[in-house]
């Protein structure tokens, strides 16, 4: 009985003490979207978008809090001076990086995100044309809550295969991997529609934004090359020149399945061959009449040529930017470890000859021929 | 039923597994990865083989002296004065294992969930269930371990999500770090497998079909090794090695990054569940510490000894404050642990041959 | 007292044969019974002698007694002797006043005659049978299967078990407990299945009870259970004969008591509280599904409020993205900490429940509606409690009532409070600590010296399989090991004919 009493006494001392790490949900402001910029004097500017807590408040009533500080943490603490409740970033869904900031070593800005156990590593990242703050202060014509809007447009772009899926964690792995470079969604503001727009993929060299970005069409191709065809990947190209109306010249195909093999040869320049087996389905082609083996062959052949041309163009852009998004370096390190030189790799990469080979198979034409 | 104080081979198997797997698994891939890089899994396998050989040695020792506890053997071989000294050394060893595992547990909780909760509270919360369990006899302990083992597959299930987008290229080239590094990596890998010495101590309680059941339990280390190899490979196809090195708890970090629709931050849930496994490992050592004390004083009461051990280790765990001093203690402990887990049992075995103790005759 | 008796020559150990007259005997017995006024003396005359019949008026059925006395007179007149029947038994003249008194208390009428200087004693049994009819127990209703339940009569209860188990192996042992109440109890088991060690243990524990009163079986349970400090019931209470029979055939032992419609079954394990006869009457998929659902409901009832508190006040990161904003909106502006919020609501539900039990049925339902709907709605509108909390607490309450056993149900409801407190202090970590303590406690717990978590700890693969799925009945060929039955085999292959057809 004495022992029991002792045990109870021990436990009750715990009851007396307060709760140290309590973070009541009702006492914090959730931040879903945040924008980072670098100011002229080298400070970091943080714009946090807090969703309206009262659901009756309609859109464009999001609270934007703009604060600058020496580090991200510093700016975040300062932001608390303006908010009635504590700002909390652990449910962060979207992180926007201003162009100027992205051109620096972005890991030094993101370090806090990785270091703090409370942060959400599956949040998305994007590079913004101009300043992130500016974009966040632009009026948006959307039915949705602005704080969730950016994460949603990224997600819908991933769905149509324009963007590969990049979360904070996958970005971190890419930043550390010398044999592969980071790529992030590139966001711009469309004045006419008063909406943000995913205009492509920003290419990084190491941890720095190169200033070049792939267009949305090139993004789709990049996705195919990354063997990322889980979403519905669609491509549209001008097949003929002379048909009327103009729409009839274009053919849209969907790519349900791609089989990519990238091999690096052990020759002087590390010639890289990219072999892609594609299955395509024609989803839109107004002139109809895709019948007969020969016609199908012809279409397949034409697509092979076109894609090859585009791919070479794509690799050239990446080589010029010295951005190894396709992770050729990783393959060199894995298969030809003797040839692998971490420091020299980027210069080597710029001169790699690419051999591109497409094998397109038309598997379907929808429910009409 | 409990009065028999006897366990089966399967129960011994899980006691050993649960003693080996603790909080260590969460940081183990980093510790080995720092040295052996992408070949950490090879180091782990080699370490597993080494430990398996040591366990075979234990098995030999146990079947040579079927009537004795480990300390009984030591006393027989070394004589009672040296025997007492060795037992005292074991007491110190087990107590410091308790201190180190408590601190390791606190560090992970403090860096992952509770940033501000004082150390004494967390350690107290940890100690209360441990004492509650370790007071009991070995049969109940075995039942607990067996029940808790149902939580082990959880790690496997959650980590298998990584294989939706694995980067197997990170594992290549196999053997690329060189033999030197791989061999050096065996050292932290063996430390991760620490706890296999439980075989030596708990093996005594296996009485029915002793030989066959002991053989069954000897596979525990093989099981743990394969579990660890899976964990290492999973972390390595997820992280680039340079990144892995700066992440102290890669397993948790992976879970933090995984996305599930029903719940997010699966790492928090996993950590709280894994804590029970860590506790289970701690309980084994607490039990062993109390058991050693009990035999040291020849007629001590088990419950009292549990209280003594927990009070000493609790106070000692509260003393060192800086991470570096704790790390120093950990590294000293780990290097001396080989003396206790391999050297002393080996010497015991050799001595028993030299002195021609009649152990074998009784058996045949 | 004894001294007193001796001086007054009222000695309870005095034998009947030592008395000289009927009057003396009656007055001594009457004194022994405290001169109670419902102790009746009836003088009867038969062919050549005088006899006296003594009994307690309220214990006997007077019509039957009248018939019995008439029968006695007639047979004495005609034959000079009484034939032994069910109702008539000779009583030895060497019985003491003490023995006679006990017989009278146990509802026998004693008839004493003095004939040729020898005493003739006859006991007549004609008990009052004012018992509740056999009906379905209200607290253990099922959909399919037998709807019979025990009542307060030990006689009919044993009858119900016997008619379901017509085997020579069914053993019934009578025991008497309560120094003053002299309640008769019965222990039943199958001697070819039940472990004799368990039987002896059970009987020993019942006999060891040194209580003067035995009110009810629930009261007795505390005397014989293994650990009274545990929140978990270690004996299975049931009012259903079919459940008792099923458990007897598993090798368990039942204790029943006069005046209680409940049987106490032991040794049981934790999971037997979650089994219902319905499982076995339905189809196997349905049975398995509901068994899993019930076990799930245990976890929900125990942990859901605690988990909610932990998430809302410590780990809201766990809430999925799309739910985080609605959750935030729901808890915004609630003045109290989540623990207080939950406690208030949980206690309200307990209040409603407690109030509902005491009230007659229609009013009880009204209370439920008023409590549930009106208070729930008003409390959210007033902004005192978040609507998420209402969902959580309601779900918990429903889950806790799923348990087929009343005691386990109360246990679960009580146990969630410590979990809530732990969660409010240490979040998920606290819950894990609580769960570990609970697991260790369950592992330590024993029911009649058998492990409480039996098929799980110690682990038996066969038993554990049966926990979660109920295989078709012809597949369950062995008895579960937790009651350590002597005879493990339950049945042979009943479906050999499935292969016959192919031939």
Scanning every residue of chain B, which has its alpha carbon at the shortest distance from the alpha carbon of C432? B272
Residues 108-137 of A with CB under 8 A from B: 117, 120-122
Q: Cβ contact (<8 Å) for B114 and C317?
A: no
Query: What is the Cα–Cα distance from C217 to C17, expressed in whole angstroms?
Result: 39
Q: Quote the Cα angle for C51-C43-C95, to 5°.
A: 45
Residues 147-206 of A with CB under 8 A from B: 167-170, 172-173, 176-178
- Mark residue A227 as left, alpha or beta (left: phi above 0; alpha: psi -120 to 50; beta: remaining): left
CB contact under 8 A, C436 and B279: yes
User: C463 contacts in B (CB within 8 Å)?
Assistant: none
Interchain proximity B136–C444, CB inside 8 Å: yes
For residue B289, what pLDDT is reported?
A: 92
Per-residue pLDDT band for A71 (boundaries 50, 70, 90) equals: confident
Interface of C with A in 185-244 (CB under 8 A): 229
Angstroms from A168 CA to nearest CA on chain C: 15
DSSP labels for B118-154?
-HHHHHHHHHHHHHHHHTS-HHHHHHHHHHHGGGHHH
Cβ pair B107, B119 in contact under 8 A: no
Buried b (16+ CB within 10 A) or exposed e, A68-101: bbeebebbbeebeeebeeebbbbbbbbbbbbbeb
Q: Choosing among C319, C443, C453, which should be mutated to test the B contact, i.e. which has the most B CBs within 10 A? A: C443
- Taking the C-alpha atoms of residue C479 and residue C460, their distance in angstroms, rounded to an integer, is 12
Q: Which two tokens stand for residue C488?
A: 């493990």
Average pLDDT over residues C174-178: 88
Q: What digits encode the pLDDT tens for the residues B66-78?
A: 888 888 888 888 8
C426: part of which helix (H) or strand (E)? helix C406-444
Backbone torsions φ then ψ of A238, nearest 5 degrees: -80, 115
Residue C334 sits at the chain A interface (C-beta within 8 Å): yes
What is the crossing angle of helices C338-358 and C406-444, to 10°? Answer: 130
The highest-confidence range among A298-302, B129-133, C54-58, C209-213, by mean pLDDT, is B129-133
Question: CB-based burial of residue B53 (10 Å sphere; 0-12 exposed, 13-18 middle, 19+ buried)?
Answer: exposed
Distance from CA of C35 to the nearest CA of B (A): 53
Task: List alpha helices for C93-185, DSSP H.
Answer: 97-105, 154-164
How close is the nearest chain A Cα to the Cα of B20, in Å?
A: 27
Name the residue among C113, C111, C92 with its Cα closest to residue C48.
C113
> Which domains are assigned to chain B?
16-340 (1.20.1740.10)
Residue C304, pLDDT > 90, answer yes
| List of long-range contacts for B353-360, beta carbons under 8 Å, 24+ apart | B355/B77, B357/B76, B357/B77, B359/B64, B359/B65, B359/B66, B359/B76, B360/B64
Identify the DSSP state of C476: -
Whether omega for the bond prior to residue A237 falls within 30 degrees of 0, making it cis, is no
The rounded distance, in Å, linking the Cα atoms of A205 and A227 is 21
Confidence band (pLDDT; 50, 70, 90) for A321?
confident
Spans of all domains in chain A? 25-214, 228-369
A133-163 pLDDT, tens digit per residue, is: 888 888 777 766 777 888 888 888 888 888 8
Nearest in space to A4 (alpha carbons), one of C468, C185, B192, B135: B135
Indicate the residue of C314, C328, C337 with minimum beta-carbon distance to A30.
C328
Partner residues linked to A124 by β-bridges: A94, A167
Distance to chain A for C294, nearest Cα, Å: 32
DSSP 8-state secondary structure symbol assigned to residue B160:
G
* Displacement of CA B297 from its chain's centroid (Å): 26
Residue A54: is it exposed, middle or buried by C-beta count within 10 angstroms (0-12/13-18/19+)? Answer: exposed
Geometric angle at alpha carbon C344, from C339 and C350, rounded to 5°: 120
With CB atoms and an 8 Å threshold, state whether A333 touches B172: yes
Contacts of B136 in chain A (CB under 8 A): none
Is A172–B243 a contact, with Cβ atoms under 8 angstroms apart? yes
Residue B140 to chain A, least CA–CA distance (Å):
20
Q: Is B116–A121 a contact, with Cβ atoms under 8 angstroms apart?
A: no
Task: Identify which has the larger pLDDT, B214 or B3.
Answer: B214
pLDDT digits (tens, 9 = 90+) for C231-272: 999 999 999 999 999 889 888 999 999 888 999 998 888 888
What is the length of chain B? 364
Q: Alpha-carbon distance B221 to B21, whole Å?
A: 10
Minimal C-alpha gap between B151 and chain A (Å): 24
**Residues of A with Cβ-Cβ distance to B167 under 8 angstroms:** 173, 330
Tell me what ipTM this predicted complex has.
0.91
Tokens of B337: 């642990």
Contact status, residue B279 vs residue C432, Cβ threshold 8 Å: no
**Min Cα separation C349/chain A (Å):** 24
Lowest-pLDDT range, A46-55, A109-118, C376-385, C389-398?
A: A46-55
Contact list, A16 vs chain C (CB under 8 Å): none
Cα-to-chain-centroid distance, residue A52: 27
Residues of C in contact with A118 (CB under 8 A): 317
* Other CB atoms within 10 Å distance of the CB of residue C295: 16
Question: Residues C176-202: what's their mean pLDDT?
Answer: 89
Alpha carbons A249 and C184: distance in angstroms, whole number: 99
pLDDT, residue B9, reads 86
**Tokens matching residue B84:** 């007492």
Fold of A228-369: GMP Synthetase; Chain A, domain 3 (3.30.300)
Which residues of chain C neighbour B261 with C-beta distances below 8 Å? 320
pLDDT band for position C1 (50/70/90)?
A: very low
- A119-123, B130-134, C463-467: least confident range: C463-467
State CA A333 to chain mean position distance. Answer: 25
Closest-CA distance of chain A to residue B242, Å:
6
Chains that touch B (3 or more CB pairs under 8 A): A, C
What pLDDT does residue C5 have?
45
Mean pLDDT within B59-87: 86
Cβ pairs B/C, distance under 8 A: 85
Record: contact A53-C328, CB cut-off 8 A? yes
Instruction: Name the residue among B118, B253, B259 with its Cβ closest to that of A122.
Output: B259
Query: What is the chain A residue with the closest CA to C315?
Result: A23
Domain-by-domain residue ranges, chain C?
2-125, 138-268, 282-451
Residues 6+ positions from B335 with CB-CB distance below 8 Å: none
Q: Which residues of A286-320 are buried (b: 16+ CB within 10 A; e: fewer)?
A: eeeebeeeeebeebbeebbebbbebbeebbebbbe
- Characterise C283 by phi-psi region: left (phi > 0), alpha (psi -120 to 50), beta (else): beta
B251-274 per-position pLDDT tens digit: 988 888 887 878 888 888 888 888
Chain B positions in Cβ-Cβ contact with residue A333 (cut-off 8 Å): 169, 172-173
Using the predicted structure, report yes or no on whether residue A122 has a pLDDT greater than 50: yes
CA B280 to chain centre: 10
Give the one of C316, C333, C425 whose C-beta lies nearest to A14's C-beta: C425
What is the structure's pLDDT at A13? Answer: 57
Token output for B338? 């080989």
Structure tokens at C4: 């007193």
pLDDT digits (tens, 9 = 90+) for C350-379: 888 888 878 777 777 788 777 777 888 888
Mean pLDDT confidence for C9-17: 78
Q: Which DSSP category does B210 fall into?
A: H
CB B102 within 8 A of CB B311: no
State how far the Cα of C307 lies from the Cα of C299, in Å rounded to an integer. 11
- Percent share of chain A, pLDDT over 90: 1
Shortest Cα distance, chain C CAs vs residue A26, angstroms: 5
Question: With an 8 Å Cβ cutoff, are A176 and B176 in contact?
Answer: no
A97 forms beta bridges with A36, A127
What is the DSSP annotation of C227-284? -TTSSS-SSEEE--HHHHHHHHTTT-EEEEETT---EEEES--GGGGG--HHHHHS-H
For residue C55, pLDDT beyond 60: yes
Collapsed DSSP state (helix, strand, coil) of residue C120:
strand
Comparing A59-63, C404-408, C444-448, the range with the smallest average pLDDT is A59-63
Q: How far does the CA of residue C65 sit from the closest CA of chain B (Å)? A: 53
Question: Which residues on B lie below 8 Å from A264 (Cβ)?
Answer: none
Q: What do you get for the CA distance between the two ends of chain B, in Å? A: 29
Inter-chain CB proximity B143 and C319 less than 8 Å: no
Under DSSP, the state recorded for B7 is B
Whether B269 has its CB under 8 Å from any CB of chain A: the answer is no
- Residues of C with CB below 8 A from B279's CB? 436
Burial tier of B72 (Cβ tally within 10 Å: 0-12, 13-18, 19+) = middle
Beta strands in chain A (DSSP E): 28-30, 33-38, 44-50, 63-69, 86-88, 94-98, 124-128, 183-190, 195-205, 208-214, 233-238, 250-264, 272-284, 354-364
In A, minimum Cα distance to B261 occurs at A122
Chains that touch A (3 or more CB pairs under 8 A): B, C
* Angle at which helices C321-331 and C387-400 cross, to 10°: 100
What pLDDT is attached to residue B218? 83
């Amino acid at each position: 009985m004495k022992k029991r009493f002792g045990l109870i006494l021990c436990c009750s001392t715990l009851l007396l003490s307060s709760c140290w790490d309590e973070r009541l949900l009702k006492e914090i402001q959730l931040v879903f979207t945040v924008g980072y910029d670098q100011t002229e004097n080298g400070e970091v500017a943080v714009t946090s978008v807090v969703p309206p807590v009262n659901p009756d408040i309609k859109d464009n009533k999001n609270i934007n809090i703009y604060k600058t500080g020496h580090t991200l943490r510093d700016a975040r603490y300062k932001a608390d001076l303006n908010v009635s409740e504590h700002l909390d970033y652990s449910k962060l869904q979207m992180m926007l990086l201003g162009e100027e900031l992205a051109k620096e070593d972005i890991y030094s800005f993101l370090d806090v995100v990785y270091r703090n156990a409370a942060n959400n590593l599956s949040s998305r990242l994007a590079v913004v044309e101009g300043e992130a703050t500016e974009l966040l202060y632009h009026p948006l014509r959307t039915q949705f809550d602005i704080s969730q809007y950016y994460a949603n447009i990224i997600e819908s772009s991933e769905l149509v295969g324009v963007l590969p899926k990049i979360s904070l964690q996958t970005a971190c792995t890419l930043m550390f991997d010398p044999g592969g470079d980071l790529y992030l969604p590139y966001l711009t503001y469309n004045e006419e529609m008063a909406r943000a727009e995913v205009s492509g993929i920003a290419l990084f060299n190491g941890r720095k934004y190169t200033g070049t970005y792939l267009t949305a069409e090139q993004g789709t191709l990049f996705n195919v090359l990354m063997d990322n065809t889980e979403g519905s990947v669609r491509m549209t190209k001008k097949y003929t020149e002379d048909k009327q109306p103009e729409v009839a010249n274009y053919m849209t195909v969907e790519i349900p399945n791609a089989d990519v093999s990238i091999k690096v040869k052990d020759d002087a320049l590390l010639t890289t061959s990219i072999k892609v087996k594609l299955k395509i389905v024609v989803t839109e082609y107004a002139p109809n009449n895709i019948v007969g083996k020969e016609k199908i062959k012809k279409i397949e052949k034409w697509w092979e040529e076109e894609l090859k041309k585009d791919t070479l163009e794509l690799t050239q852009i990446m080589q010029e930017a010295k951005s190894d998004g396709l992770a050729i370096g990783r393959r060199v390190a894995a298969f030809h470890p003797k040839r692998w030189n971490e420091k020299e790799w980027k210069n080597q990469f710029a001169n790699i000859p690419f051999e591109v080979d497409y094998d397109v198979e038309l598997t379907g034409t929808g429910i009409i021929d | 039923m409990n009065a028999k104080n006897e366990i089966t081979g399967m129960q011994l198997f899980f006691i050993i597994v649960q003693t080996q797997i603790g909080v260590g698994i969460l940081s183990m891939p980093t510790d080995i990865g720092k040295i052996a890089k992408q070949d950490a899994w090879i180091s782990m396998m080699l370490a597993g083989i080494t430990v398996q050989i040591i366990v075979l040695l234990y098995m030999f020792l146990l079947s040579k002296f079927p009537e004795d506890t480990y300390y009984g053997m030591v006393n027989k071989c070394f004589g009672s004065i040296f025997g007492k000294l060795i037992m005292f050394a074991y007491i110190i060893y087990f107590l410091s294992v308790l201190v180190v595992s408590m601190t390791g547990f606190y560090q992970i909780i403090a860096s992952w969930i509770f940033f501000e909760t004082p150390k004494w509270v967390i350690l107290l919360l940890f100690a209360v269930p441990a004492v509650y369990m370790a007071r009991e006899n070995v049969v109940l302990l075995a039942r607990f371990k067996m029940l808790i083992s149902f939580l082990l597959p959880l790690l496997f299930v959650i980590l298998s999500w990584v294989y939706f987008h694995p980067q197997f290229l990170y594992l290549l080239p196999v053997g690329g770090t060189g033999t030197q590094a791989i061999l050096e990596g065996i050292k932290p890998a063996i430390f991760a497998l620490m706890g296999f010495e439980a075989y030596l101590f708990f093996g005594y309680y296996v009485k029915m079909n002793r030989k066959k059941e002991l053989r069954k339990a000897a596979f525990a280390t093989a099981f743990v090794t394969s579990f660890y190899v899976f964990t290492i490979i999973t972390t390595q196809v997820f992280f680039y090695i340079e990144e892995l090195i700066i992440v102290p708890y890669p397993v948790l970090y992976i879970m933090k990054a995984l996305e599930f629709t029903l719940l997010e931050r699966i790492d928090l849930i996993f950590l709280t569940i894994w804590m029970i496994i860590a506790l289970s490992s701690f309980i084994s050592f607490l039990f062993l510490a109390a058991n050693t004390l009990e035999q040291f004083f020849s007629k001590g009461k088990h419950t009292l000894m549990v209280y003594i051990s927990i009070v000493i280790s609790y106070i000692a765990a509260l003393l060192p404050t800086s991470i570096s001093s704790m790390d120093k203690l950990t590294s000293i402990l780990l290097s001396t642990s080989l003396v206790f887990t391999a050297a002393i049992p080996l010497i015991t075995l050799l001595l028993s041959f030299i002195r021609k103790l009649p152990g074998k005759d009784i058996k045949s | 007292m004894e001294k007193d008796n001796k001086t007054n020559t009222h000695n309870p150990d005095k034998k009947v044969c030592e008395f000289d007259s009927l009057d003396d005997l009656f007055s001594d017995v009457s004194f022994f019974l405290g001169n109670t006024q419902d102790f009746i003396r009836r003088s009867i005359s038969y062919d050549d002698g005088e006899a006296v019949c003594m009994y307690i008026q309220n214990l006997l059925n007077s019509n039957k007694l009248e018939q019995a006395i008439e029968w006695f007179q007639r047979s004495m007149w005609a034959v000079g002797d009484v034939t032994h029947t069910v109702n008539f038994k000779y009583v030895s003249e060497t019985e003491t006043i003490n023995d006679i008194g006990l017989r009278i208390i146990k509802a026998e009428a004693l008839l004493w005659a003095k004939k040729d200087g020898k005493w003739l004693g006859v006991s007549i049994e004609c008990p009052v049978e004012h018992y509740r009819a056999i009906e379905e127990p209200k607290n253990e209703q099922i959909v399919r299967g037998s709807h019979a339940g025990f009542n307060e009569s030990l006689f009919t209860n044993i009858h119900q078990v016997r008619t379901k188990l017509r085997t020579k192996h069914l053993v019934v042992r009578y025991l008497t407990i309560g120094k003053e109440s002299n309640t008769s109890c019965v222990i039943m088991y199958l001697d070819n299945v039940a472990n004799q060690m368990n039987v002896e243990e059970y009987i020993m524990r019942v006999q060891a009870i040194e209580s003067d009163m035995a009110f009810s079986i629930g009261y007795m349970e505390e005397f014989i259970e293994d650990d009274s400090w545990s929140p978990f019931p270690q004996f299975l209470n049931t009012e259903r004969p079919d459940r008792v029979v099923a458990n007897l055939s598993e090798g368990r032992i039942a204790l029943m008591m006069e005046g209680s419609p409940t049987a106490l079954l032991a040794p049981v394990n934790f999971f037997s509280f979650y089994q219902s006869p319905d499982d076995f009457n339905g189809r196997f998929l349905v049975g398995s599904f509901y068994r899993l659902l019930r076990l799930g409901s245990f976890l929900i009832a125990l942990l859901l409020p605690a988990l909610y508190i932990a998430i809302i006040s410590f780990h809201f990161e766990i809430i999925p993205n799309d739910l985080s904003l609605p959750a935030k909106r729901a808890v915004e502006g609630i003045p109290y900490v989540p623990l207080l919020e939950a406690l208030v609501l949980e206690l309200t539900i307990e209040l409603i429940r407690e109030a509902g039990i005491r009230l007659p049925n229609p009013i009880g339902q009204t209370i439920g509606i008023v409590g549930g709907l009106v208070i729930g709605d008003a409390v959210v509108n007033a902004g005192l409690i978040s609507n998420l909390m209402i969902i959580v607490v309601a779900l918990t309450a429903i889950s806790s009532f799923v348990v087929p056993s009343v005691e386990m149900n109360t246990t679960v409801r009580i146990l969630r409070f410590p979990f809530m407190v732990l969660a409010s202090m240490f979040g998920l970590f606290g819950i894990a600590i609580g769960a570990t303590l609970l697991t260790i406690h369950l592992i330590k717990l024993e029911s009649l010296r058998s492990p409480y978590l039996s098929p799980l700890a110690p682990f038996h693969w066969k038993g554990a399989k049966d926990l979660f799925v109920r295989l078709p009945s012809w597949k369950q060929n062995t008895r579960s090991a937790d009651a350590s039955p002597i005879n493990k085999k339950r049945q042979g292959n009943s479906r050999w004919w499935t292969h016959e057809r192919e031939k």
